[in-house]
Structure 1
């Protein structure tokens, strides 16, 4: 029987792989990425001007984090997945083909779904801005395109992060399904994915708390619709965080 070839990795996976192959540590690239994002946002508010040139805005410095956070989230999880799989490998040493397929599934996302997720998200943001310019950044006119371009880039990763989290949880179930028997005297490898899913849960809590902090401390509360959307995403993040943390216990 001919095996199906591995799916083509997504553009997000290729981006992360490129970052990890750079001669400098990944955190250096992400720091530069944040500085560029913060500089773009400040250039926007200086051009219009919302604040005097040279004035730093706490609100916009915090907003710049969103341009980096999702990419860091994905990169961190991909590294954690590799470590977890290495710990789990001895349990399925007799199933190299199945384990290779599992590794590919957990470390690469299919190109087509990720492409359309990012495109649809970007178009939705643009449509929202077109219908109501205040949907994005109030007070900008000449520099609006600059700020909105960064906004589209920042938030197009949101569905990818959600998709990756769900995909990893489903893959954990597949991984435990490869086990024929359990050695009660050596159960440590069974918890290979516990650290991974705990880390995923903690990362979601970081996103949730950053979102709450941004809304409460450095931004306005917005209208009722904006608050409802924020509360909805916060609730979703909390659910995913706790599900990610507790899910491995289901498989053991």
Structure 2
């Protein structure tokens, strides 16, 4: 790695200064707002119908803040609703399997793909030799769900799909099913939402969902959502409390109480 490389912090210097000045806390840690009224005014959940909420991942944000007049700490849970953004499809070969799956409202079944495309077996096995058992498990859970309606293993399929994100991109993925893992993850999230099955994703995965949502907002120049931005900032500070600390100068350290 280039020695000059410096990862971009999740929080910028201005936000870090705000954290140090703040009287508001998340899990005992200061967070990005010194306006307790603003924090308390955040809606617990946005105004969405059940059908609309299916297209969102819901992340709980635990908030603790101090009320000076009452000399006590208050504890609340708000929810960050993250719109699920599916990858775009093209007519390129690498998107055809995902395009077909999307049209049929199915997952991209990597293990099943080999059955119908025997010429792809060698490349897929070479690319997924260390994760083939995960793909096979997802394949059987999905088929069982479609054939019998059994839902007890759907969370397992979701978590395995989440784990597979870490193994992409692969040669087979880039050749036959580009971006299949995020597409499949969105599929499982929507399915679990529709069935009202509770589940929770890793912080790194939630960060990815936030990033994809924010990229869509930027590309389409959508109106900013201050409540979402604040809750997202609270999530990052809670999930990654030490990120960005390296950006502080010695003067910034004086802001610590």
Please state which band the TM-score falls in when normalised by the shorter chain.
Answer: under 0.3
TM-score, normalised via structure 2 length? 0.21
> Which structure features the higher share of helix residues?
1
